[in-house]
Amino acid sequence: MYTIKEAAEIMNLPASTIRYYDKQGLLPFVGRSDSGYRTFSETDIGMLRMIECLKSTGMPIKEIRQFCLWVQQGDSSLQQRCDMFRERRKAVQEQMEQLKKTAEIIEYKCWYYETALAAGTEAVHRREPEEG
Amino acid sequence: MYTIKEAAEIMNLPASTIRYYDKQGLLPFVGRSDSGYRTFSETDIGMLRMIECLKSTGMPIKEIRQFCLWVQQGDSSLQQRCDMFRERRKAVQEQMEQLKKTAEIIEYKCWYYETALAAGTEAVHRREPEEG
DNA sequence: CTTGACATTAAACTCTAGTTTAATGTTATG
DNA sequence: CATAACATTAAACTAGAGTTTAATGTCAAG
């Protein structure tokens, strides 16, 4: 079992963030010591990793809470959780497509500015360079 | 020239957002009509598109403002703008790698829940299924 | 048994990125 | 020239995701 500080180090998160997640209902599974200290098992760390994964897909905390509640409910929520991950898959695919388009524009702009820099002026991109 | 409403329609943004960007110094190039109305040229729309592109890379508004100021300054800021796009390229590459890892986990979870759903219980994932 | 490094909480605060409101001005159309 | 549909501003408000503070409790080491 880990303390909140250890869990924070493993997750590379501030302890205050983990407390905030707990307060938002994301960590209903976390146990407490006799003196009221949070105790994190390996399984709990695994759930924290899943939470961070969902967060990295842009999922808001409210929806992650719903997922955590479903996990608590056991097999009766399998369908909801399955649907949720399918939706996430779609969202991530869309993010990848968006990011690819963005990457192309940024790539073009890198070329644009490298060329402009070589010429000393952005004016090279205005028209075909004239001779003479 | 477009009104703010037309620009908003083209960009698929609320007009209030465009006014907010202007207030934050992202649109120093936007002109005004005699009566003080913002007027957007095709070039301005192009800059708005660039702003949205930078935003989609997660760039904060303060940094986008710096870019917009550099554009205003002309050729003397070519090096800074080039550097900025190279940094953005790196950031986007990292985002793509992160997203790929996330996609793999989500994909695994889709399989995990589809399998669990078929079995009627998550328990199938605890160990090798026993016979008899 | 005290000191330091942990832990707890509620509540206040911060930051980012807008949105909404209210009061007012402009312009195109019937 | 009245009306509707635009536009302007400053200022207040909101939401989301934490962070910070203050007061207090716990525990291990010297």
Does the distance separating the beta carbons of B106 and A53 come in below 8 Å? yes
- Nucleic chain C contacts, protein chain B, residues 7-46, CB cut-off 7 A: 14, 16-17, 19-21, 33-37
Nucleotide C12 C1' to residue A20 CA (A):
15
Is 1.10.40.30 the CATH classification of the domain at A4-90?
no
Can you give the pLDDT at residue B35? 96
Q: What is the percent of chain B with per-residue pLDDT over 70, rounded to a whole number?
A: 96
- CB-strand contact B65/C, under 7 Å: no
Task: Convert B42-60 to b/e letters by CB count within 10 Å (16 or more is b).
Answer: eebeebbebbbbbebbebe
- Quick one: pLDDT band at residue B130, thresholds 50, 70, 90? low
Can you give the pLDDT at residue B131? 60
Nucleotide C7 C1' to residue A88 CA (A):
36
- Quick one: pLDDT band at residue B53, thresholds 50, 70, 90? very high
Q: Report yes or no: B86 at the A interface, CB cutoff 8 Å.
A: yes
- A/B interface, count of CB pairs below 8 Å: 100
Nucleotide D23 C1' to residue A7 CA (A):
25
**A1-15: per-residue pLDDT in tens?**
999 999 999 999 999
DSSP secondary structure letters along chain B: -B-HHHHHHHHTS-HHHHHHHHHTTS-TT-EE-TTS-EEB-HHHHHHHHHHHHHHHTT--HHHHHHHHHHHHHGGGGHHHHHHHHHHHHHHHHHHHHHHHHHHHHHHHHHHHHHHHHHHTSGGGGTSPPPP-
Q: Which of A89, A99, A105 sits opposite B106 (nearest CB)?
A: A89
Q: What is the pTM of this model?
A: 0.93
Task: Show me where the domains of chain B are located.
Answer: 4-90
Checking if the pLDDT of A130 tops 80, the result is no
